[in-house]
Structures are given as structure tokens and as C-alpha cells.
Amino acid sequence: MRWQPFVTVAAVIEKDNKFLLVEENINGTVFYNQPAGHWEFGESLEEAVIREVLEETAWHFTPSELVKIYQWSPTTKPDVKTTYLRFTFCGDASYFEKNQPLDEKIIQTHWLNYDEIYALKNQHRSPQVMRCIDDYLLGQRYSLGAIAIVEP
């Protein structure tokens, strides 16, 4: 059996010293996360994060930089060999699409400051939530040109 990671994208979106998070219901448990999701076949990573932000928050997102690439393997189920490879972008949420339905697992979206996010730490979907914000605030940034699409 061949192993492969789950490739995901996420967005750190800051406006007026607050960050856009989603409150989501995953199998009956409420978590907080950045707008994030799986990279789908045929998309660039930038297209994936733009789509995920719109689907989960109704905000139109324009990525400007790559914050970092994260590798995470949850240890909650030691018999399951799962690894996530998360490409986290930052950028601007420019327009709210008020009639856009949200992904069915999203309860609501929140603009929260750092202390409010930290206070919810036990309800974060993964340790990546806080780590991405911390790295963003530390100025971790890479040009979108770091991701090259190779055409056939």
C-alpha cells in the first residue's frame, strides 16, 4: 500500500488586528480553524486557497505571499498513519459575498484578535492554527513565485 500525505491549503487573513477564523462542526465537535481545505485535482495551490476561503467564509481572497509550508502528523490515533502537508498563504479579503452559502460544516465565521484566538487554543482544529498566526506575526513570508507550476 502506498502512503501519501493529505495536501491542504489555509489562509491567514488579518484586518484591523483581527484574524478571520471559521467555527466548524467536525463529526459533532466544534473547532476553530483558519479557512482551509484540501487541494483538488486540476487546481493550482493559489486557486485552491481562493476557493476554500470563498466556500468557508464568503470572502473573496487574494493571496499575496506564502507564509510557510507545514508538515503535521496527528498523534491522537497512533494506528492511523496520516500526515498533512499544509500550504499557508496570507493576503487580503477584499469583498464579502453576502449571498454565498457557506460549506455545510461551517457554523459561522469570526474576526478575532490574537488573545481571543489564544484563549480558544483547546478548540483549535490542530496546532497549526496558532503556529500559522505566530509565524505570520513573526514576518515569515515567501514570494508566491516559490511555487512553480510546470507545464507539460
**Would you kindly state where each structural domain of the chain is located, as residue ranges?**
6-146
Task: Report the pLDDT value the prediction gives residue 85, as an integer from 0 to 100.
Answer: 95
As a whole number of angstroms, the distance between CA 125 and CA 34 comes to 9
Task: Report the pLDDT value the prediction gives residue 4, as an integer from 0 to 100.
Answer: 83
Task: Report the pLDDT value the prediction gives residue 129, as an integer from 0 to 100.
Answer: 97
The phi, psi pair for 12, rounded to 5°, reads: -100, 115
The CATH superfamily label for domain 6-146 reads: Nucleoside Triphosphate Pyrophosphohydrolase (3.90.79.10)
Task: Report the pLDDT value the prediction gives residue 78, as an integer from 0 to 100.
Answer: 64
Task: Report the pLDDT value the prediction gives residue 88, as an integer from 0 to 100.
Answer: 98
Task: Report the pLDDT value the prediction gives residue 76, as an integer from 0 to 100.
Answer: 63
As a whole number of angstroms, the distance between CA 39 and CA 24 comes to 19
Task: Report the pLDDT value the prediction gives residue 125, as an integer from 0 to 100.
Answer: 95
pTM score, whole prediction? 0.93
**Segments of the chain with pLDDT less than 70:** 1, 76-80
